[in-house]
Amino acid sequence: MREFLIATKFVWEYATHLQTDSNPPLELIFKFVDTLDKKSTRQHIRNFDKLAISKDIYKHELPLRLRIKEEQFKKGTFGYEFKKWLGDDYVVDLFQISLVPYRATANRNTKFNKFAEHTMLQHDLIHFFNNYDTSPIGEVCVLSFNLAHEWRKSYATILVASLFMSIRNTFMPSKYPKNTPLLQKLRYSPIWVYVRLVIEGWTRGKKSKWFLTIDWHKYLDTPMEKVKQDLNLETKAKYWERVQPIWARALRHYKILEKNNRNKERLAHEWRTQK
């Protein structure tokens, strides 16, 4: 019952009050994920311990993302392409953010930390192999892909909240960039695009191998095309590729709206305090 109330409150805040379509509050989202998944995380770790890959992950001294930064790879290999994608400035340390309740653990090589790092690597690789960007709608695609193999109540709740937000945005004229043709509004309405992206993400996840079960160290010097074949991800996410440029424009519009709303609130506050 408590978890249901927490989830319901989160859905309401997420879909109505927070600027999650333009600037998702990562700290709040991870706090929610940790709160709702605390019990199931223990089970996820127990399930992971049963996988053959877990023994290799636990014995590696250096996480894959750090190893990639320190080594050089031949052009066209998985290691080379993933290192280029990560870049020097790309990685927001979501691993650290997700470990807020566990920061008392000083040793980064604990079993839990290695499991958490491997799950964050999975998150990055879903972005990488599907060409999903890090916008809010790109994150929706990642969660959908992930849920195809690993059920998490928090992820499912975020998708439900995003569904309600997309319904809200569909019927708010201000959410469409100025001079958007009617046919384009209908063809790329938020609710229609959202549902299709969730279905595509989940379908691609179901088709591919479960990323958490793979020893990515063994693929570092493997040609990218071969890795994609092994993952059953040779083809691109076609609908995502089609709508991403349009939704990049919508995101810029959402950010302008958010900025304007903040300015209005600031001016209203100043006017009230000066009275």
pLDDT of 245 higher than 70: yes
Q: How confident is the model at residue 116 (pLDDT cuts 50, 70, 90)?
A: confident
Q: Which of these ranges, 27-41, 139-153, 161-175, 180-194, has the smallest mean pLDDT? A: 27-41
Domain boundaries, the chain: 2-274
> What average pLDDT does range 230-250 have in this prediction?
95
The whole-number pLDDT of residue 13 equals 72
CA–centroid distance for 55 within its chain:
26
**CA dist., res. 79 & res. 85, Å (int):** 10
Q: What contacts 54, CB < 8 A, 6 or more positions away?
A: 48, 115
pLDDT of 101 higher than 50: no
> What average pLDDT does range 16-38 have in this prediction?
72
CA–centroid distance for 243 within its chain:
17
pLDDT of 98 higher than 70: no
Q: What contacts 170, CB < 8 A, 6 or more positions away?
A: 189, 190, 191, 192
- In this predicted model, which residue has the larger pLDDT, 41 or 23? 41
Whole-structure pTM value:
0.85
The whole-number pLDDT of residue 145 equals 97
Instruction: Calculate the average pLDDT of the chain.
Output: 84
- In this predicted model, which residue has the larger pLDDT, 128 or 261? 128
The whole-number pLDDT of residue 14 equals 66
> What average pLDDT does range 70-81 have in this prediction?
94
148 — phi, psi (to 5°)? -65, -25
pLDDT of 26 higher than 80: no
Q: How confident is the model at residue 90 (pLDDT cuts 50, 70, 90)?
A: very low
Share of the chain above pLDDT 90, in %: 43
Q: Are 213 and 67 in contact (CB under 8 A)?
A: no
∠ CA 231-211-195, nearest 5°, is 85
**CA dist., res. 125 & res. 119, Å (int):** 10
> Which residue, 259, 245, 128, 253, is CA-closest to 193?
245
